Structure 1
Amino acid sequence: MDQDEFKIAQNNSDDSDENDSAEDEVPDYRQLASFTNRKSKETYIPRRGEKEFEPSGLKIQQKALDESRDAMFNAIDGVRQSSNKNISIGLWSNAHSRASIIIQRGTHFSSIGHPVRNTPSKREGNVEKVASETRMELLPEEALYMVERGSLLCYEYEWSDNNDKMLKLSTNDSAVDERVAGLAPFSAQRAFDCCIGKDGLTLEKYTVYAQLKRLGYIVKRAQQQQIKPGEQPGLLGRIYNTLKGIVNTIFSPIASFVRLFNFRVTTLLGSRSSFLRPHQNYDSIFKALRLTPWGYNDTPEVSTRLSEEQQHEFDVTWDIWRPSSKFRKSAPPPPDFRIVVVDTHKSSLPSLEQFAHIFSHQPYSQPPLTRKQKLAKEKEEKNGKKPELAVSEISWFSRWWNRKQLAADESNRKKSPAVMFPALKHGKRAVVFAIVDSGTTSWIQFGEGQFGEFPLY
């Protein structure tokens, strides 16, 4: 190691030590008193205090702890205020587990909520019905998040159907105040009581949802169809599953032997073995030495080893998009990440069979572009040039006619480090596990590796 490298390593170690010491420090909650004291006009961000690991037995230490604790409780006990010009008004129904918006304000609804259209109906006797209109409904996590952050004033009301006159949209605050005069408004505590446990929402799932929303991500429920463990298939479904299990049990050894024999023969004849014709390059030599299959190609067989509860234990919970993505609720693009929420008190990490089942339900994703590829793509879009078509987008006749050239181009492309390393790091199918342990969330990304698809020699 030369002198320059030693200085760089020393600077990196100094930075890591400073970061570790900063993480060990705890905030001094006594500084929060300035925010709750109305007489103080100056406001500033509280600074971190020094952390003491052992009690010293001195009264000054106990006094500092008491003042810090009292300041924290006083800050939490403060009444949050918001302007009526930016707050929306909605009605929460425990039977429907939805919040219907009657006054819509703010830009939150560009990514929150889903439109519901009232069915048109005529006036029936003395019962007043609303006309056909499109209103906004919020899921439990969306309503709870907006109530918690002070952007929604929600009232409890059990509407009978979509034509209830209480659901009529309005822009007049006084008219809405008269309409909801006899209803009880939601508090944050009441919102947690009503929303948690409804429509599959748990406290761990909401913790992850709220954290991602505060960071600016767009979060929606996963579109993957989930079957509850308690639901049983019908008579035809049970007969089909029984016959499928019997056939798999009988023909599984035969199918395994046929696959092994076919793989060995194909490898022997497809490679340039010594007794057929001599090797001409290193690629043919290493391909001939690759005799062990890789990956899970028979996913249905793996899924049969899992029970119904194990198959749906790690279903994708949230689909999220980056804040900079062009998101439209009517036609959302493919999500940037797929989140699986795991409660450490109820589950552990998935087994190998469960990982294979999880990845089988995820679409294939392209690895992230490198900086050089992003610049080249932006340059092509700026100049109006069409990007080169991928092999999968070329017609089958062109692929068959130019199969040798396309195979050689694909092999050379996979040898490039700019293509190989991002693909190996990201995986062809990936999910992110949000592991919640008593309110603390840890993030781990798992990807299905594709080491067998790249020439690592």
Structure 2
Amino acid sequence: MSSTTNQDTDLNLDEDEVIQDWSDISKIQNDNPILSIPKRGEKDYEPDGTDIQELMLYRAKKAMFDTLENSVRGSTVKSQVKGYYIPDKHVAMLPHAKGNFVQTMGETDKDGTLWLHFFEFLYLAERGTITPYWKAYGDNVELPLSIEDLYSYFKNQKEMDNFSIYAHLKRLGFIVRSSDQYIITKYNISFYPPLDFKSKTIGSMRNIVHRITSSFTSTGISLFNGIIFSHWHFYLKRYKSSPEIYESLNKLITHQKIPHSISDLRYEHNNVKEQSSYSTPTSLKISFNIWKPNPTFKKKYPELPDYQVVTYNKNVSNQSFPTYNELRTLFKSLDYKFNFIEDSSNVDFWNKNTYNNGILRENILDELTNHPRNKIKNTEQVGKKQSVNKKKTPRKELPPHIQQLKRLKNGYRSFLLAIMDNGIISFAKISEADFGSENVWYVPPPNGIVARPNQNGRNKNKHRNTQRKEDKQSKK
């Protein structure tokens, strides 16, 4: 009777709520490689003060400790991967790297040695993928390191925060790469084309014209504000409808122009470097580029990231929540798959608008696939052919007011602010909305006709009823 009740309780409980019974497994000989841990009963969440409960707890602990003490533990020498920490460069190297992590982590040199950032090295050591060693660069002496030793090599609190965020995102399954730290070569992935001398001169001239025109617009707004707040304005202007009032009120409030297209994004990005007033602080900058899980990911020629992360520790005295100017600088420095331009799943579009080291990504992929010596699996080309052959059903266009609500809710550009609070990580999405150019107070109806949904529904029902009556009469 007790065994059936125990089985029933096991079915109702979750996996982590069921207590493990080590008493039977401790009796099994160590030469049996396949072991299964049996389960039993319910948990005792609070002590009841009885000796029976203390005895059961003692026996369970002793069985677990005996099992762990007598079991054969360790790693196979053949599958062991050694990693060496280089203190002079604060990086790590793996002379004989093997495993799936090589596809998304570190950089490989010409000799086949994998170089890792320190946070990547510590992450692999924590999960048991590599065995860490200390080794001076160019020296043959190697010393084994523990996880505690690796934690003592952090340079500052910022680096420790970045590791916590990196490890958290990696455990969730994302592909995470550093945005500004490079070991061997700097692979520049950008949505923006490289600037030559001609484009720089044109951009500087446009910047001068923009500053002159913006001064005139600001002067015009200030004059308008001075006139509309005076009593003379009502003698000069007569409002005949509500939209005229709202349009006049809209001119009272100044707002920043937000890029809505590819040309606007690239024009603003070219002028960021020339504006010294928007300098990004060292404490707040983009820390990581994040990609969704992708089996065809290539770390040498990657796609644009899906997200970008900025690290912020609220417990550090010299850090504060980003100000308005800092947020503007961060928005202008973003470089990822902007969702308001095109969906991230459209591979063809992003290949045509992504630059790897100043070269169009589409040209790089064509050169790699058509090279006679390079016999790689052309998974991306196969995906292209399948996408062309499959007829995509066109998406239904949403009504204008629904599109406006989505634009105001999701914004245009956005990044993830990783907030560290005493070791607890919280992610906040900071997006850039445009309330200045959105007509949120009044939407004029088409052709001056106001149609209510209830009335339209009633009219449709009346039309259907009359049509049915006419059909019945024609049949008779």
TM-score under structure 1 length normalisation:
0.55
Asked whether the 8 Å contact 1:26–1:48 carries over to 2, the reply is no
Asked whether the 8 Å contact 1:32–1:75 carries over to 2, the reply is no
**1:328-407 correspondence runs (5 A):** 328-346=298-316, 347-363=319-335, 365-367=338-340, 381-383=387-389
Q: How many matched pairs?
A: 331
Classify the secondary structure of the residue corresponding to 2:119: helix
**1:269-288 correspondence runs (5 A):** 286-288=246-248
User: Which of 1 and 2 has higher RCO (CA within 8 Å, sep 6+)?
Assistant: 2
* Partner residue of 1:312 out of 270, 282, 286: 282
* Letter aligned with residue 413 of structure 2: R
Is 1:452 the counterpart of 2:436 in the alignment?
A: yes
Stretches of structure 2 lacking an aligned partner (at least 5 in a row): 1-12, 30-34, 183-211, 226-235, 259-267, 348-383, 443-476
Counterparts of 1:143 and 1:325 in 2: how far apart (Å)?
A: 22
Q: What residue is the counterpart of 1:187 in the other structure?
A: 146
Q: Give me the CA root mean square deviation.
A: 5.4
**1:245-324 correspondence runs (5 A):** 258-263=216-221, 286-291=246-251, 292-295=253-256, 311-324=281-294
User: Offset of 1:107 from its aligned partner?
Assistant: 1.2
Deviations 1:48-91 (A, max 9, x none): 95756xx9877888889999999999999999644445442232
Counterparts of 2:102 and 2:124 in 1: how far apart (Å)?
A: 10
Counterparts of 1:379 and 1:266 in 2: how far apart (Å)?
A: 57
Counterparts of 2:100 and 2:174 in 1: how far apart (Å)?
A: 14
* Letter aligned with residue 256 of structure 2: G
* Partner residue of 1:43 out of 15, 32, 37: 37
* Letter aligned with residue 42 of structure 1: S
* Letter aligned with residue 283 of structure 2: E
Classify the secondary structure of the residue corresponding to 1:324: coil
Residues 266 and 71 (structure 1), Cα distance of their counterparts in 2 relative to 1, 3 Å cut: farther
Residues 383 and 452 (structure 1), Cα distance of their counterparts in 2 relative to 1, 3 Å cut: farther
What is the percent sequence identity of the aligned residues? 23
Q: What residue is the counterpart of 1:443 in the other structure?
A: 427
Asked whether the 8 Å contact 1:98–1:140 carries over to 2, the reply is yes
* Letter aligned with residue 148 of structure 2: Q
Q: What residue is the counterpart of 2:88 in the other structure?
A: 95
Counterparts of 1:65 and 1:330 in 2: how far apart (Å)?
A: 54
User: Offset of 1:45 from its aligned partner?
Assistant: 8.4
User: Offset of 1:97 from its aligned partner?
Assistant: 1.4
User: Offset of 1:224 from its aligned partner?
Assistant: 8.8
The range that moved more, 146-155 or 325-334, is 325-334
Radius of gyration: which is bigger? Answer: 2
* Partner residue of 2:117 out of 113, 117, 139: 139
User: Offset of 1:335 from its aligned partner?
Assistant: 1.2
Asked whether the 8 Å contact 2:19–2:39 carries over to 1, the reply is no
Asked whether the 8 Å contact 1:319–1:337 carries over to 2, the reply is yes
* Partner residue of 2:175 out of 207, 215, 218: 218
* Letter aligned with residue 445 of structure 1: K
Asked whether the 8 Å contact 1:154–1:186 carries over to 2, the reply is yes
* Letter aligned with residue 149 of structure 1: R
Counterparts of 2:422 and 2:18 in 1: how far apart (Å)?
A: 22
Residues 332 and 343 (structure 1), Cα distance of their counterparts in 2 relative to 1, 3 Å cut: same
